[in-house]
């Protein structure tokens, strides 16, 4: 297995995209109101997609991450 510190940022984006597929499966049949009302689902989804430990993202993506977290 490769050292995580040498992993290209694009692979982190791939991980996020894969997670989006899981979120779609987890929330199937749930409307936006229900999704937003369930803080557990909402928070888990947000943190799963925009991971707190991804310092490898280029500055533009970091800015988008920070904006989404505020």
Assess if residue 52 is contained within a domain. yes
pLDDT above 60: residue 3: no
Domain boundaries, position 52: 19-69
Long-range contacts of 29-38 (CB under 8 A, 24+ apart): none
Assess if residue 49 is contained within a domain. yes
Q: How would you class 35 by CB atoms within 10 Å of its CB: exposed for 0-12, middle for 13-18, buried for 19 or more?
A: middle
Better-predicted residue by pLDDT, 9 or 29: 29
- Model pTM score: 0.52
Total domain count, the chain: 1
- Asked if residue 62 lies in contact with residue 13, where contact means CB atoms within 8 angstroms, the answer is no
The pLDDT tens digits of the residues spanning 6-26 come to 677 778 778 878 888 888 888
Express as a percent the part of the chain with pLDDT over 70. 77
Assess if residue 37 is contained within a domain. yes
């Amino acid at each position: 297995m490769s050292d995580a510190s040498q992993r290209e940022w694009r692979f982190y984006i791939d991980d996020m995209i894969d997670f989006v597929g899981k979120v779609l499966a987890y929330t199937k049949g749930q409307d936006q109101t229900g999704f937003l009302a369930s803080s557990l689902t909402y928070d888990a989804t947000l943190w799963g997609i925009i991971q707190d430990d991804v310092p490898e993202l280029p500055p533009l993506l970091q800015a988008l991450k920070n904006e989404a977290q505020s």
